[in-house]
Structure formats: C-alpha cells, structure tokens
Amino acid sequence: MNISAILTALVVVGAVGLILGVFLGVASIVFKVDVDEREEAVLGALPGNNCGGCGFPGCSGLAAAIAKGEAAVNACPVGGETVGNVIAQIMGVEAGETVRMTAFVKCAGDCEKTQKNYEYTGVEDCGMVKYVPDGGAKSCNYGCLGYGNCVKACPFDAVHIVDGIAKVDREKCKACGKCVAACPKGLIELIPYDSKVVVACSSKDKGPVTMKACKTGCIGCGLCVKACPSEAVTVTDFNAHIDQSKCIGCGACKEKCPKKIIVEVPSA
C-alpha cells in the first residue's frame, strides 16, 4: 500500500472541496437575488391552488405582481374577500370591494328540450365534436355538447354534466375561469354571484330556426327588452343578454319571456 499516494489523493480532494466551497460561497453573494419580504408573506397568504384564475402564472406570479403593485390585493378569485383582506394588511393598503363571481352555463337545452339530428358514437370530447357534421348531434349548433371538457378543467369539482348539459355548483365555484376557457362553444361566462336572473341560451339563430332545434331557446323577440325598467336587457344576434351591472332583479323580463329561457339564479 502506497501511503504517500493515499495522502496525496486526500490532499487533492480536500483542496478541490475547499476551492469549490469558496467559489460557491462567493457566487451566492455575487448572484444573490433579493426577495421582497412582502412577496413571501403574500405568497404564504394565497391558497396555493395555482389555478391561474387571477391571470398570472400561479400563486407565485400573483404574489410577485402584488408586491410590485402590478395587481390588486384582492385579485385572487379563490381566496376571495378573506384572503384579499389579509394581503391588504400585508401591503398596508385598503382591500377595496370584492365582487364574488361564479360561472354560469348559457344553455338549457337538455336531453328533453333539444332535438337530435343523429346518434353520435365517436370520441366524447367537446373540442373534437364541434368539428363533426353540424357541430354535434344536437340540432342547436350553439348548445352544450355535454361531453364534459369543462368538468375535466375545473379544479374544484364545481361543474357536472346533468341530463346532457353542464351545470355549475355555485357554492363550489371559485370563478377561476378554467371552464370558461375549456368550452369550445363559448357557453360559459362569469357573472356576479348575487345575480338574480340570467339568459340560459346562447343561440344566434333566428326564432323559427331556434324553435325547431330547442323547445326553450331564445327567439330574440325583444319582449324582455321592453319589460325591463332599468334598460339592462338587450338583444343582439337574436339572443337576449342581461347587463348585471344594471339589473335590479325585478324579474319583469323573466315574466315576459315567452320561452321561459330567462331564469332565476341558480337555474337548477
């Protein structure tokens, strides 16, 4: 056994380790990234769902934006008012008013009310089905396909398919917008949680065409517009829409609708 060789190896290894340790120590100082303590505190207050509903890449992205003053302290739709107030205290500002939102599916054409052109037996995916003849088996080209892309996208188990159409559980919904982005038909929108009445239809077909496809679809008759005392209802492309910021919840439009497609929230 060559003792000198072993000692030389130990010295070399020790020297290399020492040099690397010094290098890493210097590098940690030179390349140190200062982190705003408020950013870390905000990140700790956020729920950690990383759903992206705030418009930033996860909770860390939102925390950084809030710390820099680029996002509102109540920008997290999942945390809502409670988390907004905590973050406001961290940032030393007023939280401001938080309007709770919820997703709503603008379709009431379930299996009983809508007609079918044919029986579809292909891939059960809304994004794929919209490219098949007539945009799916349902006669209404604007209706919910019912294959649950929105269900798969929801991280809170708030969306389910009931009788062929998607339904949102308002109590579970965090308004993250995942289902809105997932729907290829654009049927889902975010509305204030305390909305009173909504139009459960997205059809842009003329009245006679809509009536052939669905028993309850909006026919764009305009009676709801005339009935509304606050000018909250308009008809565009043969479809009624309610401006929730103007709606007073009187229900006059609902009472006048001949197709009963203006419904109270929740609609199911």
Domain 101-264 fold: Alpha-Beta Plaits (3.30.70)
In SS3 terms, 173-211 reads as CCCCCHHHHHCCCCCEEEEECCCCEEECCCCCCCHHHHH
Nearest residue to 174 (alpha-carbon basis) of 80, 41, 74: 80
Q: pLDDT for 101-128, tens place per residue?
A: 999 999 999 988 988 888 888 888 998 8
Q: pLDDT for 12-36, tens place per residue?
A: 777 777 888 777 777 666 665 556 7
Distances (CA, A) of 160 to 146, 156, 235: 9, 11, 29
Nearest residue to 248 (alpha-carbon basis) of 190, 194, 200, 170: 194
Helix (H/G/I), strand (E/B), else coil: 244: coil
CATH number of 37-91: 1.10.15.40
- Domain ranges in the chain are 37-91, 101-264
Q: pLDDT for 140-160, tens place per residue?
A: 989 999 999 999 999 999 999
**Is residue 84 a contact partner of residue 94, using CB atoms and an 8 Å limit?**
no
Q: Answer yes or no: same fold for 37-91 and 101-264.
A: no
**Is residue 173 a contact partner of residue 102, using CB atoms and an 8 Å limit?**
yes
Q: What is the mean pLDDT of the chain?
A: 89
Q: How much is the pTM?
A: 0.78
- Residue 260 token pair: 């009963």
- pLDDT score, position 33: 58
Per the listing, tokens 């603008």 go with 106
Q: Are strands 233-236 and 197-199 parallel, antiparallel or unpaired?
A: unpaired
